[in-house]
Each structure stands twice: as structure tokens, then as C-alpha cells.
Amino acid sequence: MPNERIVGIDLGTTNSLVAYMEGDRPVVIPGEDGLNLVPSVVALDENGQIVVGSAARKYLMETPERAVYSVKRLMGRGVEDVQVELRLFPFRLADDLAAGEVLRIKLGDKTFTPPEISAFILRQLKRNAERYFAAPVTKAVITVPAYFNDAQRQATKDAGRIAGLEVLRLVNEPTAASLAYGLDKKNAETVAVYDLGGGTFDISILKLHEGIFEVIATNGDTHLGGDDVDNLLITIALHDIQGDLAVDVRRNAEIVQAIRKAVIDAKIALSSDEKTSLDVELPGGKRYQREITRAQFEQLIQPVIDRTIGPVRQAMKDAGLTPKQINEAVLVGGSTRIPRVRQLVQELFERTPHSGLNPDEVVALGAAIQAHILAGGSEATKEMLLLDVTPLSLGIESLGGGVVKIIHRNSTIPASATEHFTTGVEGQTNVAVHVVQGERELASDCRSLARFDLKGIPPMPAGLPRIEVKFLIDANGILHVSARELRSGKEAEIQVQPSYGLTDEQVENMILDSFDNAEEDFRRRQVIEARNEAETMLTALEKGRKNPAWPQLSSQERSNIGKFETALRAVVKADDYQAIRTAIDVLNQGTMHLAELMMESAVGTALKGQNMDTADVGEGPESPHPIAQAEIER
Amino acid sequence: MALTEHKKPEQPDSGILVVNQSRPTKVNCWSCGAMRAAHFCQECGKVQPPTPVDYFTFFGLPFRLNLEPEKLEGEFYALSRHLHPDINAINSDREQQWSLEKSSQLNDAYRTLKDPITRTEYLLRLQGVQLEEQSKAATEEARRTGKIKKQVVPPDLLEQVFELNMQLEEMRMNKKMGEPDRTLERELQDSRKQLQDKYNGLLQELQAAWNQWDGLIDRAEQGGSVLEEDRIAVRDTMVDVLNRRSYLSNLLRDIDEVLES
């Protein structure tokens, strides 16, 4: 048995989950609210505290400027790539963003990068797991869309680090799902995983063979999912409202959120019902009401779900397979609950798709299995091994802006390539290398990953230095580069400038920040708790004064209580935890006798037929202040 | 800053690579000291430090071009079970690094050898032939001078290619105007079929060259002598077949693009 608990995390666009392997079975770890899904919503409350999950949804509805959802869409992306997102989603970017800087999003009066916001979600999942195990959790496997590029993967890994998690592996979501499905499979077969989630679409074709899960081809769209269906319906609703009711609510963030909630509810209802209705209250007492049938809905969303066809065909072509050669098509992701989506998958693969496991949970369950394998595994996972691929080709910009591909898409990872470079000018000591990812012919059409400066080349005539650069894509799908000048044998220095990522130093600072904040959070929570305790005590004391036990106290006792009360009232509004604590303890001591007298009278009452439980309050060593009992007694 | 592709220096045209001088070496396991450790220790299972070897040697194979795909796949899976980073995730940093390098070597080797064409190209590269470099250099030269990249049209295709290019151009125009010409489409499909037959014929030629090559390897393995001119003759045949194949494959791709658009 592995001695270290490694959890599996599905960091989703809409919902996130944490799971782990309990014996031979992966299970999802519920949150404090008892629910398995943690909505991927983060908000900043009035006290400057971060709120995550269901609790943050309230802010999304009431104070949308303090909340953010679907932040996964912004991971590893530059400001110029997210223009479409900015039009469709209520992301508020920081006003002072410099060119080339990592995006920062406003939450109230603060700004955070997408990895930081994802880290808040991860920290919540970490806490949920720690509460469940009653032990610290520091290691995790996190899933990412298979079609995520290097920058998006790196951003996810950074988020883990910021949240205080060592990310042992990034696993592709459809591959993780296949692990969960294939746990009991021993036969060789070819499986297609169709994963349509909240914001991403992946298609992966796998070959299962004696426990080896070999991905043959993968494709997808990292900006296609349930969100797009919602946005389409929101746009239609806003258009309707403007046309029929002559109200323009597009700038009203709260109304837009109310419409968003209504269309999501309608979308979900239409997976089982033939028709449903939208009903949203608008400013000025007007209402937006509309009935929508499933047929209308399906017609509306057809263009969105048709966008999955191209990637599916390409993956099949890359795998060199026809639909007949696929043994099973598996559905993953909440959006595959839409009947029209299922029908499309059925048409594409010419068979009824398989959806035995909960499509919301299957990725997290697979991540838990992978975590278990990494930790050393057990009898249940002994034979299991994932062989995944890189979804996008890696290339180098050549003279004239073309791309020389050095690692092709669908290559099994880890994968490497070695390239040789030289100088073009006499005595040149630097060579610039531009690495890109993508399938297009021109570097400007591909995703820029990084620019490297090979420095410290010994001055030589042009063309003589021979610099060997090794590119290695690791099992997480993340690129590593190393270089050597062969003639001098000198390790060439590489300065990596990720095109869309945080530097190591920035990540370090964010980790520190979150630690500082954790302490600050703790201190603040302590003050708030002490203050609440003091308020409860003061209220109870007021009631105690009216209790028949009060006159039984000596005048000295009563005067002391009055003095201690004043002392507590003096510090209760201050931010000083120690002062409040001391004043509480002093008053606690001073009212001990009063509490005892009240207890006796309460016991007397109880004997006359009242509930003993009520009288019991305050007796145990862990009990609140004895005087609190008076409040309960009434 | 100028960035130029470095041309590999001419390798001496010697015949040494015909002889398989590279059986997997047996070394002591760094961890338990047992012998029989090439990629991983047979005794304790620990991954061993990476060594720079060619892809055939990595799999313990002779430099033969005919190989059984199922056997190669089986070997790939078996080695993956020892070398993959997932298997070594909780081992020391050093072992994790070795595992990363060795499994990337394994994957690169398997990817190259499992495909018949890349396998042949790789072997030719080991023989000092610079297939990609020739093509890359031509592309760079074309960019620099602004001329269209010269492709050597195989003589037997000259006439057909000339006509085909005209048809493709016409078809593109038709499609752009939204007036597909059914007759032209049928003609293109016919041409495609003819070219596909030629392509398949080339694969047979390649197979024949493979057999010749493997014959030389077998002779060398059994201690026989291999004439330098025999080796060069087979090698050059393969280069020629691959060049024609690449030309045909581009042509087929162009036709498919036009037909599918």
C-alpha cells in the first residue's frame, strides 16, 4: 500500500472535484456541504476574504463584480487571445495590465492572475481532502484538457504550486476518464472518449491492451463547451428583451447573471423534459418570460455542437481508424447529458455511446487512479500504465517565418528532439530561438511558447559554432530545453522567456503571498470568533441580571462583574485578539458564581418537568461560557 | 539575430554501419550491482542511466529493415513498464531524470521504427544520407532567392504532372466560384487512382530494396564480406524510391485537398 496520500483533482471549468483511491475503488471526497462538486467560482467577500464554491455563487448573483467563474478559459493565455472571451464572459481585467504581462482579473478592489484564482479552488479541494483524512495533503495529480498547450499546462502546474500542492502529474482528462472506465477491462479494444465539458472539448482515441492505455490520437478545442451553449442562449434572451420589452440590460451584470442562471436551468431541464420556460425579473417590474421546446433548443445549439465534428474526424484520421474499428465510444463531461450531443456521438461512431459512470465525476475518479499508480499502486492497478501523447506539434521558427516541426502531434510522451544551430555573423555570441506549438505553416499562426537566447557562444567565424539544443516534452506535456555548444563543449546558457506564463520568481512570490494571507486569514478569523464569543457573553450577562440568581450575589461580586463587563466592552471592537481573549477570560471567572447559582435554579426548573438537556448546557469542559446557558433557558 | 539551420558535416562514407556492432551492453546495475542491466536491472528492476545509442540498438535489433510490428510493439510495452516516469514517480530525483530521458528515447525509437518510411529514412540517415537536410536546404534557398522551390519531378511522371497541375488549378477556380465541374472531378479521381497505383508500386520497389539490404546485413552478421559498391547501390536505390514516394505523396495530398474542399 502506498504510504502517502496522493489525491486526484479534476480542476474543471464549471465544477471541480477531488478524489482518491479507497481500497480498490476511487471515490470522490465531498465538501463540508456534503456535495461532491465544488463549483469553480471564486469571490472576494466584504471583509476581503476569498470565498470558493457554492458559497461564492451567492456573490455571482448579488455582486458579480466581486466574483469570477470559468477562469479556466483564461489559463495560460495572453490578452490578445482572450478578446472573444472578454465579449462573452463578465471577466474584468485589471486596468493597469502591461503588454505581455500575465492577465490579472479584478475581484472587488483586488486583482489576481488566473493561476492564483485556480489556486483558490485547489486550496479549497485540498482543505476538503484534509478534513476528510484529518491529515495534511501535499501531493496531487491534476487533470487538464488533452488539447491544452504548453502554456495552459504550465499555468495549471503553477496553480498547484501556489495552492501548496506538489503536482506529481498533469493527466489529460479523457485519458483519466478511460482509466476509470477501464479499471475492470482486461480485453484488448479501441476506445474513443468524447469529452464535452463546461468550457473544453477533447476527443481521444485509445488502445487498451493488458492494462496499457495507449493514446493513439487526440484532438479538441480548449474553448468549446457548455459555456458556449449558455452564452448563445443568453445572447438570444438579451436580444429578445431588447426587442420585445425595449429594455437594454446588457450592462446590468446582476440581470445578466440572473438570465445566465435561468438559461442554465432551462438547458438542464431540456435534457429530460420536452419543454421548459424561462422567467426572469427585470428592472421596472417587467418580466422576461419565454417557453422553449427541446426541438427549438436543439436547433439553436446545433452550430455549437457541430464544432466537435472536425476534431473528431481529424483524430480518427490521425489514428488511421474508421468508426467501425472503434469498439466503444465513451461520454465524459456534463454537456454530454444533452440528448442531441449523444445523438451526434452515435452518428459519428455508428454505435450507442457508453455512459455508465457519472460524466461529472469520471475524470476525477480517473485522476485518483493515476495518483494511486504514481504512489506505487496495488493489486487493482498493478498492470495499469498510461501512455499519452502531445496534442500539438512543436516547431521552431525558421528564416522567413516558417515553422520547422521537430516533434509531431500525437507523439507518445515523453518525447524529444535534438536540433543544431549555428551563427550567421562572424563573432556572434547569441542565437535567438523561437519555439512554437501548433499545426500551421507560419510561426505567426502558431502559439508562441517561448523565445530562447542561447548566450555565451565563444566568438568564432560565422557558421562554425555548433549548438545542440535538446527539446524534451515530459509526461505532463510540458517542454524542457537544454543546450550545448559542441565545439567548445560549453553548456550554452539559455534564457527562457515564456510567452504567456508566470516566471518562477512570480510563482514563488504568490506562494509566499498565500502563506502570508493564510496567517492573516487565521488571525482575522480568531478576532472574529473571539468577538462573537464576547457578544454572546454580554447578551447572556444582560439576561443573567434579570435572573432570580442575580440578587443572591454579594455586592462585591456584582460590582466586579460590572467592572469586567466594562473592560470587555472597551476592547471588543478593537482588532486585538489577545485583549478580547483576556477580557473574556476575566469576565468568565467573575461570573462563575452567578453561573452556578443559575445552574441550580435551572436544575430546579428541570425537576419541575423541563428538558434536562437545556439545563445541561454549560457543564462540560468544552462548553461555551456557563453564562450562555441563561440565554438558552429563556 | 540571425538564426540559421546548421548543416551537418559530411560523414565519411564508410561501410561500418552495415555491421551490427552494437548488441546491448551488459553493465553492472548502479543500485544492486547485478549484471544484465541495459535499460533496467533484471534483478531489482531499477532504471539505468541513459546512454546515447541509435534506435535499432536501443531495441537490441540488428540494422534490418524488415521487422515484425507485433514484436516491436510488445517490446515497446514491456520496456514502457520499466522506464516510464509513472513507474518511477516516487523514486529519487536522479532516477526520475533517467526515467524521463530513457522513456523519451524509447518513445522516439518506437515512433521512428514502427513506421516503415521513417524507419527507412532513419537507417539512411545512419548511413550518412541527408534526406531532410537536402529538402530543408532547398526550402531555405528558395525563400532566400524568392524562387519557387525546385522539385525534381520523376521523369516518368513529367507529362502526367503537368496536366494534373492544370486540372487542379481549374478545379480550385471552380470551387471558388461555386461551380463544381463533375467531369473534371471524375478525371481528377481517375488520376488519383493511377497515382495511388504508382505509389503502391513504389512501396513494392522499396520492399525489394529492403530485402536486398537485409541480405547484406545477414551476410555481415554471419561473418561474410559485403562489397562497398553493393551497399551503396542498395542505399541509393532506397534514396531514389523515397524521393519519388515523397513527391507522389505530396501530389496525392494536393488532390485530396482540392477534392475535399
The rounded distance, in Å, linking the Cα atoms of A634 and A627 is 12
Q: Which residue did the predictor score with more confidence, A203 or A210?
A: A203
**How much is the pLDDT for B24?**
47
How do the domains of chain A map onto residue ranges? 6-224+307-387, 226-305, 394-502, 507-633
Query: Which member of A4, A387, A428 has the closest CB to residue B80?
Result: A387
Contact yes or no for B242/B121 (Cβ under 8 A): yes
Taking CA atoms, what residue in B is nearest to A415?
A: B104
- Residues of A that are catalytic: 10, 72, 173, 195
**How much is the pLDDT for B132?**
57
Q: Which residues are A110's β-sheet partners?
A: A107
Mean pLDDT lowest for which of A276-290, A579-593, B123-137, B207-221? B123-137
Q: Which residues are A93's β-sheet partners?
A: A105
Q: In angstroms, what separates the C-alpha of B100 from chain A's closest C-alpha?
A: 7
**How much is the pLDDT for A163?**
93
Average pLDDT over residues B169-182: 79
Q: In angstroms, what separates the C-alpha of A140 from chain B's closest C-alpha?
A: 12
Average pLDDT over residues A297-315: 94
Q: Which residue did the predictor score with more confidence, B155 or A241?
A: A241
CB contact under 8 A, A415 and B136: no
Q: Which residues of A touch B55 (CB under 8 A)?
A: none
CATH class name, domain B19-114:
mainly alpha
CB contact under 8 A, B108 and A415: yes
CB contact under 8 A, A420 and B6: yes
Average pLDDT over residues A73-98: 84
Superfamily of domain A394-502: Substrate Binding Domain Of DNAk; Chain A, domain 1 (2.60.34.10)
Q: Which residues of A touch B70 (CB under 8 A)?
A: none
**How much is the pLDDT for A330?**
92
The hierarchical CATH code for the domain A507-633 is 1.20.1270.10
Average pLDDT over residues A454-475: 84
* Confidence band for A2, pLDDT divided at 50, 70 and 90: very low
**How much is the pLDDT for A579?**
87
CB contact under 8 A, A169 and B86: yes
* Confidence band for A317, pLDDT divided at 50, 70 and 90: very high
What is the residue-averaged pLDDT of chain A? 85
**How much is the pLDDT for B135?**
57
Residue A614 has pLDDT above 50, yes or no: no
**CA proximity to A470, closest of A452, A455, A497:** A452
CB contact under 8 A, B85 and A475: yes
* Confidence band for A135, pLDDT divided at 50, 70 and 90: confident
Residue A1 has pLDDT above 60, yes or no: no
Q: Which residues of A touch B82 (CB under 8 A)?
A: none
Contact yes or no for A630/A547 (Cβ under 8 A): yes
Taking CA atoms, what residue in A is nearest to B140?
A: A399
CB contact under 8 A, B100 and A472: yes
CB contact under 8 A, A423 and B81: no
Cα-based angle A222, A323, B257 (whole degrees, multiple of 5): 70
CB contact under 8 A, B1 and A397: no
Residues A523-574 pLDDT 10s: 776 787 788 888 888 988 888 888 888 998 899 999 999 999 999 998 888 8
Cα torsion B252, B253, B254, B257 to 10°: value is 120
Residue A36 has pLDDT above 90, yes or no: yes
Average pLDDT over residues A440-449: 84
**CA proximity to A468, closest of A481, A479, A451:** A481
Percent of chain A residues past pLDDT 90, beyond the cut: 42
Mean pLDDT lowest for which of A10-14, A217-221, A341-345, B92-96? B92-96
CB contact under 8 A, B86 and A373: yes
Query: Which member of A374, A397, A432 has the closest CB to residue B86?
Result: A374
Mean pLDDT lowest for which of A286-290, A326-330, A517-521, B181-185? A517-521
Taking CA atoms, what residue in A is nearest to B136?
A: A404
Residues A255-281 pLDDT 10s: 888 899 999 999 999 999 999 998 888
Q: Which residues are A22's β-sheet partners?
A: A25
Residue B157 has pLDDT above 60, yes or no: yes
Other CB atoms closer than 10 Å to residue B92's CB: what's the count?
A: 11
Taking CA atoms, what residue in B is nearest to A167?
A: B89
Residues A141-155 pLDDT 10s: 999 999 999 989 999
Q: Which residue did the predictor score with more confidence, B1 or A377?
A: A377
Amino acid letter, A512: L
Residue A496 has pLDDT above 70, yes or no: no
Q: In angstroms, what separates the C-alpha of A514 from chain B's closest C-alpha?
A: 27
Taking CA atoms, what residue in A is nearest to B86?
A: A374
Residue A362 has pLDDT above 90, yes or no: yes
**How much is the pLDDT for A531?**
86
Q: Which residues of A touch B107 (CB under 8 A)?
A: 411-415
Contact yes or no for A215/A205 (Cβ under 8 A): yes
Average pLDDT over residues A625-630: 34
Residue B130 has pLDDT above 80, yes or no: no
Average pLDDT over residues A415-426: 85
ipTM over 0.95: no
Q: Which residues of B touch A2 (CB under 8 A)?
A: 90
Q: In angstroms, what separates the C-alpha of A431 from chain B's closest C-alpha?
A: 6
* Confidence band for A332, pLDDT divided at 50, 70 and 90: very high
Residue A407 has pLDDT above 90, yes or no: yes
**How much is the pLDDT for B141?**
55
Q: Which residues of B touch A373 (CB under 8 A)?
A: 86
Query: Which member of B90, B101, B108 has the closest CB to residue A375?
Result: B90
Q: In angstroms, what separates the C-alpha of A409 from chain B's closest C-alpha?
A: 12
Q: In angstroms, what separates the C-alpha of A412 from chain B's closest C-alpha?
A: 6
Q: Which residue did the predictor score with more confidence, A516 or A425?
A: A425
CA atoms A560, A566, A571, A577: torsion sign:
positive
Superfamily of domain A6-224+307-387: ATPase, nucleotide binding domain (3.30.420.40)
Average pLDDT over residues A52-59: 90
**How much is the pLDDT for B143?**
52
**How much is the pLDDT for A619?**
35
Percent of chain A residues past pLDDT 70, beyond the cut: 90
**How much is the pLDDT for B188?**
83
CB contact under 8 A, A422 and B6: yes
Percent of chain B residues past pLDDT 70, beyond the cut: 76
Q: Which residues of B touch A387 (CB under 8 A)?
A: 80, 84
Residue B186 has pLDDT above 90, yes or no: no
How do the domains of chain B map onto residue ranges? 19-114, 152-260
Residue A634 has pLDDT above 60, yes or no: no
CA A463 vs CA A354, A422, A433, A491: distances in Å: 58, 5, 16, 18
CA A364 vs CA A7, A19, A107, A136, A323: distances in Å: 9, 6, 28, 19, 28
**CA proximity to A20, closest of A129, A174, A134, A176:** A129
Average pLDDT over residues A383-403: 88
Q: Domain A226-305 maps to which CATH number in 3.90.640.10, 3.30.420.40, 3.40.50.150, 3.40.140.10?
A: 3.90.640.10
Chain B window 107-166: which residues touch A at a Cβ cutoff of 8 Å?
107-108, 110-111, 136, 139-140, 143-144
* Confidence band for A604, pLDDT divided at 50, 70 and 90: low
